[in-house]
Structures are given as C-alpha cells and as structure tokens.
Chain A
Amino acid sequence: NAGVMQNPRHLVRRRGQEARLRCSPMKGHSHVYWYRQLPEEGLKFMVYLQKENIIDESGMPKERFSAEFPKEGPSILRIQQVVRGDSAAYFCASSPWGFGEQFFGPGTRLTVL
C-alpha cells in the first residue's frame, strides 16, 4: 500500500513563472491537506480539500495560490507568478476521514530564483 506521493520532489522556478505541485493521497483517502514549511519552522496549514470540493482555504494566500482535488487524478497546488518568498517545502497529507491522523508525503521543495 503506497503512501502519499508527491511530485516533483524538487522544483526550481524563476520569479514570475508558475509552479504546479502534485499530490496523490493514499488509496482510499478522500481528504487532502496542504501545508507549507519554511526552514527551521513548523508546518503551516494552507488548504483542506475533499474530492472536488475546497473545505477550508483559510491558510492559503488569496492571490496567486489555488488548489484543486478533481474527481480523478491527484490534488494540485498551483502558485502563479512565483516570488522568492514562495521558496519553501510544501507537504501534502491525506486521511480517510475528516478527523484524526494525517499521513504526510515526502514534500516538494520549491526554490524560486
């Protein structure tokens, strides 16, 4: 049973480009969470999605950031017109129900030049 998969593991973008981060939850999990982590800090919640629905996006910047979890395929976190401050590790977690333990993927490390 594969764990949470994220790709790419490392992503380099120049300022102004778009970044697309993908997350495939564990099999049977319909709840997905995205978190951002800066070096030497804890993870900060960004958005919570259930299949085809955004449940809570209170931690996601209003501009340039969007997330989706389509009926088929992985969840996507999209960052448009990236800036240097977007450089961070982005983690996806999934759970089979909307409470309790969340299982984390290995993360995508985004570097904006």
Chain B
Amino acid sequence: GENVEQHPSTLSVQEGDSAVIKCTYSDSASNYFPWYKQELGKGPQLIIDIRSNVGEKKDQRIAVTLNKTAKHFSLHITETQPEDSAVYFCAANGNNRLAFGKGNQVVVIP
C-alpha cells in the first residue's frame, strides 16, 4: 500500500519567515495529495490539496508543489504568523483511503 513520509518532524521558524515541509510517497498511482493543519485538541482541517495533473497550487500564503517523477510534494507557508503554529499532515491516496504522514510540528517564534 501507499507509504507517506514527512520531513522534518519539527520545524521552528521566525515570524515572517517561510516554512517548507516535504513529503514523499511510494505509490506512483497516487493522484491526490491533501495537506491538513491540526491545532491542539482539535481534528485536522484540510488547508490545501493538489491533484497530479498540476504541479503547483497556491492559496494566499500557502502553496503546494508536486513532483511526480520524484514522488514528493511540499507545503510552503510564506510570511509565517503565530497562528500558523500547529501540526501539519500530508497525505496521499491509495487503496480506497488516504495514507497520512506522521505529521510536522511547526512552531512560529514571535
């Protein structure tokens, strides 16, 4: 089945700087890649997603890029703010479900 790995596990950035989280996946048949943000004590919330027919998608300060050849995709957060501090999960589809990475703790330092 699909195997998704996330790096780094923890990322600290200064407020205003950019944060980048990278995920790799194993199944070349995967064609849908969502990103989720989870705040403490809450369920994960979908923040952006990308399908394999495009290489990049942007929504205000967040963007996702996809490299199908290398089988990796990345989340980019620009002009980080304290409220961006959370755990971020990437996922890839396969076998009738989403396979999730283990999550990245992003800490934005004011």
The answer to whether A and B come from one shared complex is no
B binding-site residues for A, Cβ under 8 Å: none
